[in-house]
Amino acid sequence: MSLELIDGINKIHELLSTNIEAAWVVSLIEYVLVGLGFLTLYALIALFLIIFERKICAYFQCRKGPNRVGPWGIFQVFADMVKILIKEIIPLKHNDKLLYYAAPFIVIMGSLLTFGGLQFADGVHGVDFNVGVFYLLAVSSISIIGVMLAGWSSNNKYSLIGAMRSGAQVISFELSACLSMMAVVILGGSMNLSELMAAQNDVWFIFQSPFTVVALVIYLIAAHAETNRGPFDLPEAESELTAGYHVEYSGITFGFFYVGEYCNLFINAAIGTLVFLGGWQALHIPGCEGFNQVMDAIPSYIWMFGKTLVLIFLSLWVRWTFPRLRIDQLLKLEWKIMLPFSLANILLMAIWVVVTNN
Amino acid sequence: MSSYEIFVIVFIMALVMVLGGSVIGLLRSPKSTNDQKGEQYESGIPTRGTSWMQFKVGYYLIAILFLMFDVEAVLLFPWAVIVKGMGVEGLYAVSFFLVVLILGLAYAWRKGALEWK
C-alpha cells in the first residue's frame, strides 16, 4: 500500500507540474493536499476512537452501546459531530476572553503536531527529524499549556482545581514516559524514528532486551496517566469536579478538547508501538524464513494500526476496570515508584548495551 | 517535501481546524442570552467571589521537581544516543551525573517534598 501511495503522490506531482506552469502554485497545491490529508486522518481517527470507546465501554458494562444510527450505531458519531458543531457557544461574563479562546488552539496544536511526527506505514510519515523521539516528547507536552490556560481563564473553581491536578499529573508522568523512551534510544543508538524502525527490522525492541519490557510497562502506565483517563482521571473526576478544566466550554470549543483527548489516546499508543513494538515492521523470528515471508505479506499499515489498536484496547480495559486513585496516591506512584524504577532501568540498560556490544 | 515544510503545514492546519470549527460554530449556532447564563457554573448555586485565587503549594513543588528532572532528561538524551559506541567510558561519565541527580531525589524525598500535604 505504501509503495502505491508513494506512486500515487508522484503521479499527482507530475500531473500538477505538466498542467501548471508556475512552480510555486504546484508547491502550494501540494502543501494544501498534504495538510488536508493530515487533518482528515486526524479527524477520522478521533471519530473512530470515540465510537470504539463507546462500544467497548458498553460491552464492559453489559450494555449494547449506540445501536440506532446506522449498522451497530457507527453513524452515531457523525451525528454527534454535526450536533456539536451547531450547538450554542455560551458567552461567559467574567472569564479572560483571550486565554479562554486561545486554549483550544494550543491543545489541538500540541496534539496535531505530535500526530504529524508519527509514522503510519513503510515510508509513509510526515515530520521525520533527526531528534524524532525528542520532538514527539517535546510537542506532545504543549497540550498541557492549553489545559492550564483553559482552567485558569474560565474563572471557575472546578476548572482551576481540574487544571492544577491535570498539570501536576501530566508533567509528573511525562518524566517516566521520557525516561522509558530513553532506554530504547540507548538500545537503538539513535533518536530518528526511521532509524529506530530500521533497527527493529529483524527483532522488535521489546524482544531485544529484558529492560525494554520494563520500559514498555512504565511507558504504558505513564502514557495512560498523561491522557487523563481511567484510574488517573482526577482532573475530570465527574463526581467531584463535574468535568474539570473544560467545565465552562460549550459547543465546538468543548469539542476540540474532546477530539484532542481521543487523539492523544491514539498518539500515545502509536508512539508506544513505534518505539517499543516495531511500529509498522512485521513480526519476524530470525531463522524462520517461511514464517517471516508469511508475516511480510501482511501490509505494513495493518501492522501499525493493529498494534496501536491493541494498546488502545489495553488502555480502555484499564480505564473501565479500575477505581479512581487519590491525587496523593497518584503522585506517590510516579515520584516514589516509577521514577526510581525508570532511572535504574536506564542505568541497567546502558550497562547491558555496553556489555553485550563488547 | 522536507520535514520542516511538513511541520509548518501541520502547524497551520491546527490553526485552520480550530478557527474553521469555531467560525462554523459561531455562524450556525443559535444564540440567546439572559442574566444568569453568563455566570460561572457552580452546580447551580450563585458564585461566591472570584476563582482567581491562591491554590495549593503542593502543585508548585511538583512543578519545581519536574523542572529538575526534565532538564536532566534533556541532558541525558544526547548521551543515550552515543553510549552504545562509547563503551565503558560513557558509563563512567554519566554515573557521576546520575549519582548527583539521585542524591537530589533522595534529598527531596527525605525533606518530604514528595509527600502530599
Phi, psi of B69, rounded to the nearest 5 degrees: -75, -25
Which residue of B16, B91, B115 is in closest CB contact with A350? B91
Question: Sign of the CA dihedral A242, A246, A250, A254?
Answer: negative
Which residue of B6, B29, B40 is in closest CB contact with A156? B40
pLDDT band at A261 (very low <50, low <70, confident <90, very high): confident
Least confident interval from A264-273, A342-351, B44-53: B44-53
CB atoms within 10 A of CB A97: 10
Contacts of A118 (CB under 8 A, 6+ apart): A125, A126, A136, A267, A270, A271, A274
Contact B41 A247 (CB under 8 A): yes
Which residue of A30, A128, A252 is in closest CB contact with B22? A252
pLDDT computed for residue A129 by the predictor? 84
In the beta sheet, which residues pair with residue A119? Answer: A125
- List, for residues B62-114, the tens digit of each pLDDT value: 888 888 888 888 888 888 888 888 878 888 888 888 888 888 888 888 887 77
Torsion of CA B46, B48, B53, B59, to 10 degrees: -70
Give the residue from chain B lying closest to A172, CA to CA: B66
CA distance B114 to chain A (A): 7
- List, for residues A45-55, the tens digit of each pLDDT value: 999 999 888 88
The pTM assigned to this predicted structure is 0.89
pLDDT band at A1 (very low <50, low <70, confident <90, very high): very low
- List, for residues A61-77, the tens digit of each pLDDT value: 888 888 888 888 888 88
A2 has a pLDDT exceeding 60: no
- List, for residues A138-164, the tens digit of each pLDDT value: 888 888 888 888 888 888 888 888 888
Q: Which three cell numbers stand for residue A156?
A: 471557575
Contact A191 B24 (CB under 8 A): no
Residue B55 backbone zone (phi > 0: left; psi -120 to 50: alpha; other: beta) = beta
pLDDT band at A4 (very low <50, low <70, confident <90, very high): low
Task: Sort out which chain A residues have CB atoms less than 8 A from B91's CB and list them.
Answer: 350-351, 354
B61 has a pLDDT exceeding 70: yes
CA distance A293 to chain B (A): 31
Contact B25 A115 (CB under 8 A): no
Which residue of B1, B90, B102 is in closest CB contact with A34? B1
